[in-house]
């Protein structure tokens, strides 16, 4: 296993991200506060460069590479958001990027990845191994693999969202009782846990997953990495990793209090709520935290809860269906 | 005519708004910058309390009232966004609010206004005078009228968005060449003009209107207040005032460089662009600035342009149609 990142790596990552990643706003909605009878702070990572938090980790990793150390560029495998983060970071570093993406990835994620100048190779989520395809291509090209979560620099980069969150909450006079963070491979949760537990130890951290893909929730209970039965078939296309990462779970198992699980109907309601009351576009995987809150999966009355809205890359036709209840 | 507000009124309004209105984020999109070959900064007033900039002026006005000076509460006439701003501000002051709204206002605006606890009375935009209806009700109730734009405190309140804009742009190292601001009665444009011209005199300010409702554009050319032929029939429901206000135009005629005009198709494309690349929900009237920029109505290459995205209160069914091109 690789070295476990620390809060120092997160702090260092923040310096590296300055001027490249955005400090995303912490949004608040009186309507949402009234509804849960508490105070809710939304960390709007959908407003991050490339439309999700993934640029943070990608930049923290790729900005250290040079034409010398990565003469064949970078290769990544991703369901879409990491793809865009890697493609944008590589473009800024003038390195070629090739991304291995599932064939059923939303078109907007494929199109945006290509728009950043990356080459896209698709694979079958159920039958092929993206890691094997990426390894083979990286070897052929002399390229560096940028994994989506199992990497200390990736985790530390994602953690910068947690540092910002704690500081922005303090500026608003809020002491965070809990943080809700979507989990797929667990990189965002691990990074945010490192940051939040270092700066606000009493805050509890809860990952959130869609039904059928609740590997983290079950792993946190059993204490070992549990696997999902399925590898596809959720509207939360960003949250389909088969199991927690080894590195990420080594952090999450001790830093996370629990895992919450939401239904697809709850996710859609959260997306529509964000449209109506927050005026931000959240993709299904990015809306699970808000969905858990609105569904009452965590006590909010009289408390301050932060929700990470992790991404906003959703196809317009699907979003239209969510808004109109089709 | 009432007293013309100054930059001092805007600065004072900012103190009054602290802790009540949000400092909305200034968003930037590498995709948008690349597209116009310049630097674009989006002041996301759709993320303001009540989903539009209107809370600023409403709070600046209504927070000065007391149960003694406004024993019958407040009355306003509004196409929807001012309604919500007034309703939310009155609720915070524990004053009753009645809003006179056009019958064809989007449902989301009526529903949200009622959700803030206000009473809603509708009228026919083509045949009735909202000012007369509001005056009669205010007299009957002993209520204070909070006009949508013809009031120095309203203009000064809206101007706080301009103060924030200039400071946020400076923090980003951007010197603003131009600001694009939607215009209906001209209150937002006047407030922003006061703030921007005081803090960044070389910046040019341009109002933006939909085709058929270009009263400001024509008035800026003729030097006198011109009237629109129509009072309804645009998707930009927030931008249908019949002519510039007397007070607002006394500021705008000397502070604005020109008025830009956009088509409905251009507005829809801008809304869809904001969905895809900015991940914010912008209503038609709030998207005219971005529409003008994307349509090339102002030179952007090598320049820094600020766009005020003034509101995000749009019915989900209409928004779905815009996204899917129906």
ipTM score for this prediction:
0.95
- In degrees, to the nearest 5, what angle opens at C-alpha B103 toward C-alphas B97 and B109? 55
Q: What residues of chain B lie within 8 A of the CB of A28, using their CB?
A: 22
Per-residue pLDDT tens over the stretch B225-248:
999 999 888 999 999 999 999 999
Q: Which of residues 110-139 of B touch A (CB under 8 A)?
A: 115
Q: What's the rounded Cα separation, in Å, for the pair A90 and B228?
A: 51
A15, containing H or E segment? helix A7-17
pLDDT at A1 over 80: no
Question: B119 with B103: CB under 8 angstroms?
Answer: no
Token duo for residue A262: 């939401």
Compute CA B322 distance to the chain's CA centroid, rounded to the nearest angstrom. 21
CB-based contacts of A316, cutoff 8 Å, min separation 6: A108, B272, B275, B276, B323, B324
Q: What's the rounded Cα separation, in Å, for the pair B146 and B142?
A: 13
Average confidence score pLDDT of chain B:
96
Specify the pLDDT at position B282.
98
Residue A177, classed as helix, strand or coil, is coil
DSSP-derived secondary structure letter, B274:
I
pLDDT band at B171 (very low <50, low <70, confident <90, very high): very high
CB pairs under 8 A between A and B: 72
Token duo for residue A29: 């909605």
pLDDT at B76 over 90: yes
Q: What residues of chain A lie within 8 A of the CB of B320, using their CB?
A: 319-321, 323-324
Question: Is the torsion defined by CA of B294, B299, B302, B305 positive or negative?
Answer: negative
Token duo for residue B189: 């444009």
Mean pLDDT of A19-38: 96
Q: What's the rounded Cα separation, in Å, for the pair B281 and B277?
A: 11
Q: What's the rounded Cα separation, in Å, for the pair B265 and B234?
A: 11
Mean pLDDT of B204-230: 97
Token duo for residue A314: 């959703």
- Tell me if A312 and B281 make a contact (CB, 8 A cut-off): no
Minimal CA–CA distance to A254: which of A301, A194, A171?
A: A194
Token duo for residue A279: 């005026």
Q: From the list B30, B281, B324, which residue is nearest A317 (CB)?
A: B324
Minimal CA–CA distance to A84: which of A57, A63, A64, A103?
A: A57
CB-based contacts of B65, cutoff 8 Å, min separation 6: B74, B93, B95, B144
Neighbour count for residue B42 (Cβ, 10 Å):
25
Does A18 lie at the interface with B, CB-CB under 8 angstroms? no
What's the farthest any 2 CA atoms get from each other in chain B? Answer: 57
Per-residue pLDDT tens over the stretch B5-50:
999 999 999 999 999 999 999 999 999 999 999 999 999 999 999 9
């Amino acid at each position: 296993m690789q070295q476990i990142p620390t809060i120092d790596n997160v702090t260092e990552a923040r310096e590296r991200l300055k001027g490249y990643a955005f400090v995303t706003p912490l949004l608040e909605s009186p309507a949402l506060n009234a509804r849960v009878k508490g105070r809710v702070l939304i960390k709007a990572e959908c407003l991050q460069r490339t439309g999700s938090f993934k640029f943070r980790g990608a930049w923290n990793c790729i900005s250290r590479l040079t034409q010398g150390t990565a003469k064949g560029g970078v290769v990544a495998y991703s369901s879409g958001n990491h793809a865009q983060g890697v493609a944008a970071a590589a473009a800024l570093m003038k390195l070629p990027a090739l991304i291995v993406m599932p064939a059923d990835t939303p078109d907007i994620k494929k199109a945006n990845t290509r728009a950043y100048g990356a080459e896209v190779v698709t694979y079958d989520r159920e039958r092929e191994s993206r890691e094997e395809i990426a390894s083979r291509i990286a070897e052929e090209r002399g390229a560096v693999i940028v994994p989506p979560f199992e990497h200390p620099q990736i985790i530390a980069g994602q953690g910068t969202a947690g540092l910002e969150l704690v500081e922005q909450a303090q500026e608003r006079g809020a002491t965070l009782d809990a943080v809700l963070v979507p989990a797929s491979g667990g990189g965002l949760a691990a990074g945010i846990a490192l940051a939040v537990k270092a700066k606000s130890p009493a805050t509890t951290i809860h990952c959130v997953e869609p039904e059928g893909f609740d590997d983290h929730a079950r792993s946190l209970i059993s204490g070992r990495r549990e696997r999902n039965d399925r590898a596809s078939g959720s509207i939360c296309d960003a949250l389909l990793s088969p199991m927690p990462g080894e590195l990420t779970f080594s952090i999450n198992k001790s830093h996370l209090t629990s895992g919450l699980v939401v239904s697809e109907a709850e996710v859609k309601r959260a997306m529509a709520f964000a449209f109506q009351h927050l005026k931000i576009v959240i993709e299904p995987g990015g809306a699970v935290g808000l969905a858990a809150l609105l569904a009452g999966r965590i006590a909010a009355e009289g408390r301050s809860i932060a929700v990470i809205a992790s991404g906003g890359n959703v196809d317009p036709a699907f979003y239209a269906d969510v808004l109109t209840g089709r």
